[in-house]
Chains A and B, each alone.
Chain A
Amino acid sequence: MGTPAVEIEELSRVFEPRKKPPVVALDDVSLAIPPGEIHGLLGPNGAGKTTLVKILSTVLLPTSGRARVLGHDVVDETKAVRPLLGIVFGGERGLYWRLTGRQNLAYWGALYKLSARETKARTQQLIERVGLAERADERVETYSRGMKQRLHLARGLVGDATVLFLDEPTTGMDPLAAREFRTLIAELRDEGRTILLATHDMVEAETVCDRVTLIDRGKVVATESPRTLGQVISRFQRIDVEGVDAAVLGEIRALTGVSGVTEADGGARIEVDEEGATRVVLGRLVDAGATSVKTSLPSLEEVYVQLIDDRGLEL
């Protein structure tokens, strides 16, 4: 394996607010992200996602441990790291509202040491790419939230970043705009860029990420592909069934490994929590003449809830 795009070793960060007990924001986090991967960083608010992104972005020092971007240490080699990075975060901030979209990009182009000619060409290219051509010469304060987010992304790309850190980039976007944004992110991966996407949006992580790391209270809970994570708790399968009577459902409710049966709209959802229970339940439903049976794996959201809420689950 070549040099990882992002390599984190036993990284910790403790904040020590005045007159308050220390807060452990990151606790011994280790992670390696290969080049060209979209890696999701999932966790509830306060889990440590933003702290990790800040350290990788060189705007925060770790208390201990190391982090490298394309082989360069984010603490000691900031001059080498910074030109490689693009940082995009969600929300309204991070842009100069009284400048136009084009002027914003030109400003950041200058900060990324592009010549005037390069800046002009890159700015136009990015404006078209993120779909802001028609409004590029209007002040950012007149933009919608989705437009600001697209401009954020363009700003993050103005230096032709190899590694992109996206922190809650679709916060507050409407579903359509968020979907378009995710399509853009996937395109960036296809160009060979590495993307670390900090989010608590399960759908977003499931849709675009090659792998996700679940983080909670500063610790890594799991790092897997979204699908693998789903399979890890496949014993928590769900069976949706139609055309069986209440007596049969009563029998199934009594089976070992069945954790719940919920009846609704002429059908029922049966939940199992033990390996092998699904096969037994399906056999009983077929014998009972069920007209429709459907099994499904848990969504990433359900995995997330299980892993974050149920620390006893071994991976």
Chain B
Amino acid sequence: MTALATTVNVMHHAFRAGLADYRAIFTWKSWLAGWMVRVIAQVAFFALLGERIGDDQKTFYLLVGNSILVAALTGVFSLNMTTAERWAGTLPLLVASPSSPIIVFSARGSYLAVDGALSALAALFIAGPMFGMDLPWPRVVAVVPLTALVALASYCFGTFLAGIVFRFRSINSLVVLTTHVSLMAACGVNVPLSYYPDALEWFSRVLPVTNGLLAIRGVLDGADPATILGDAALEAVVAVGWMTLALASFNQLASRGRRDGSLDYGA
């Protein structure tokens, strides 16, 4: 088998393992009746705030931002991946296998990116018409890959955080929540980037969501394609950057685990 085929094979199985975890949490019925209802309620809540405090423009701004944020929030849940591996006691076995655990971790939670993109798009396409938002056809089709890109970038970011918080299991949930709130506050979800000080705007540009969300708003507002593509390219760069850092963090995790004995196994 070629190295590429081996890698793809490992990623396929890792994806399937992740998906099995997800299926234990959700069935199609509970996903639709539980998760999606919650997501649409969340988006509707912010859209209603927009209606109360302003006009259609504010309503649609909040509606789009909070719909796309769902992709990010879901992707960031990949942070729980290492906790799952640790609980399963499989991490040292992964490290001791002939394949790199990094390959596993790059794919293990990728179902979350798929789930995030689907949830965000469903929220946008359901909540949008509910609040009278015009989704310009056929331009709106471009929102689909851009939302997938945001979900992917967020997954990469969550995977990076997973490598970092591995050693601090007790703060895992805190990091998830803090990350969610930070993305909501800093990525132009509820207020335009121009409201932020310059330093914070630059910071938000290296976070997932920000650039992709600008591209999506551009598509819906009819911005010129060059601007949209520029923002999309930046989101892709952010995704690659966070995944590179994620791989480095897992490499570091394995090396440090070998040094200090933190790769536990056994009953």
Contacts and interface: CB of A to CB of B under 8 A. Distances in A.
Interface of A: 15, 50-51, 54, 57-61, 79, 82-83, 85, 87, 89-99, 103, 106-108, 110-116, 155, 159, 167-168, 171-172
Contacts of A95: 88, 90
B93 A94 contact: yes
B13 A94 contact: no
B119 to A, nearest CB: 21
B98 A98 contact: no
A50 B92 CA distance: 13
Contacts of B266: 50, 89-91, 93, 167-168
Contacts of B261: 15, 51, 54, 60
Interface in B92-114: 92-99, 104
Given A59-B258, A98-B21, A113-B1, A90 B10 contact: no
Interface string B237-267: 0000000000000000000011111010111
B239 to A, nearest CB: 25
Nearest to B263: A59
Nearest to B91: A59
Interface string B76-96: 000000000001111011111
Interface residues on B, range: 35 or more
8 contacts: A54-B261, A59-B258, A79-B98, A83-B98, A89-B266, A90-B266, A93-B266, A96-B90
Contact of B265 (A89, A103, A107, A115): A89
Contacts of A85: 96
A66 to B, nearest CB: 15
B89 A57 contact: no
Contact of B13 (A51, A61, A106): A106
B267 A82 contact: no
The 4 closest A-B pairs by CB, nearest first: A91-B267, A93-B89, A98-B20, A111-B97
A94 B10 CA distance: 17
Contacts of A168: 266-267
Interface of B: 1, 5-6, 9-10, 12-14, 16-17, 20-21, 23-24, 87-90, 92-99, 104, 257-261, 263, 265-267
Nearest to B255: A61
A82 B254 CA distance: 14
A90 B88 contact: no
A111 B99 contact: yes
A61 B265 contact: no
Given A79-B98, A89-B265, A103-B16, 5 more contacts: A54-B261, A93-B87, A93-B88, A111-B98, A167-B265
Contacts of B260: 15
Contact of A54 (B6, B87, B92, B267): B92
B267 A90 contact: yes
Nearest to B12: A110
Contacts of B104: 111
B257 A111 contact: no
A112 to B, nearest CB: 6
B265 A82 contact: no
